[in-house]
A and B are shown apart, each in its own frame.
Chain A
Amino acid sequence: DAKTTQPPSMDCAEGRAANLPCNHSTISGNEYVYWYRQIHSQGPQYIIHGLKNNETNEMASLIITEDRKSSTLILPHATLRDTAVYYCIVRVPGTYKYIFGTGTRLKVLA
């Protein structure tokens, strides 16, 4: 099954860009990469998703390597409220099942 690998934790200074990496080397060719975050024990919040091209929305940017084996989520100007666990997710190939790893715990420092 496709799965993702993320660093367990990262720190980022407030106002700086937070770059969160994800390895998904076994992703199949037509599967999207999704990013969610979870603040405390709240429900995961959708951030962004992408397939091949880089994507940007009001929350973040997603950079996907050309071989699609890894991606980086960029929060351009991190705030204290961005402190959360960030999950990079792919689906089980041929299904609609998300595979959640343990995510990256991002701490934004004042």
Chain B
Amino acid sequence: DADVTQTPRNRITKTGKRIMLECSQTKGHDRMYWYRQDPGLGLRLIYYSFDVKDINKGEISDGYSVSRQAQAKFSLSLESAIPNQTALYFCATSDPGWTSGRESQSTDTQYFGPGTRLTVL
């Protein structure tokens, strides 16, 4: 079974509709992230959450909102979808992974879900 799941995997919607993308994880990680990927480009961070009470904007949060319902669930909403939000959306989780020693550091490796392909007409 996949550790990070996303639903739906594909969605076609119309301009102005409200859309929710859901992410669930069984890795027990506190940190969760939402990214979008446009064709030929790398991923860009939309929102991230370090625990249930913590929500932070990423580099492209306009037009999006999120909800962290539980440690294992992080949802992304498009309140009024527009065509330029057509993209691949990925959820990710991470654990701080603190190294041992006097200068402890966080490795914070992220693990990604399979993605949701969203098309806004």
Contact = CB atoms under 8 A, between A and B. Distances in A.
A97 B105 contact: no
Given A97-B45, A97-B48, A49 B112 contact: no
The A contact surface, by secondary structure, is loop
B42 A87 contact: yes
A23 to B, nearest CB: 15
A82 B109 CA distance: 21
Interface in B20-52: 31, 37, 40-45, 48, 50
Contacts of A97: 45, 48, 58-59
Chain A, interface residues (CB within 8 Å), range: 20 to 34
A93 to B, nearest CB: 13
Nearest to A32: B107
B110 A98 contact: yes
Contact of B43 (A30, A42, A46, A100): A100
A97 B58 CA distance: 8
Interface string A66-110: 000000000000000000000100010000111011110000000
Interface string A14-58: 000000000000000010101010000111111001010000000
Chain B, interface residues (CB within 8 Å), range: 20 to 34
Contacts, number: 53
Contact of B115 (A36, A43, A91): A43
A83 B103 CA distance: 37
The B contact surface, by secondary structure, is strand
B120 interface: no
A101 B41 CA distance: 7
A49 B48 contact: no
Given A32-B107, A97-B45, A98-B110, 9 more contacts: A36-B112, A41-B37, A41-B117, A46-B109, A49-B107, A96-B50, A97-B58, A101-B42, A102-B40
Interface of B: 4, 31, 37, 40-45, 48, 50, 58-59, 88, 90, 92, 94, 103, 105-115, 117
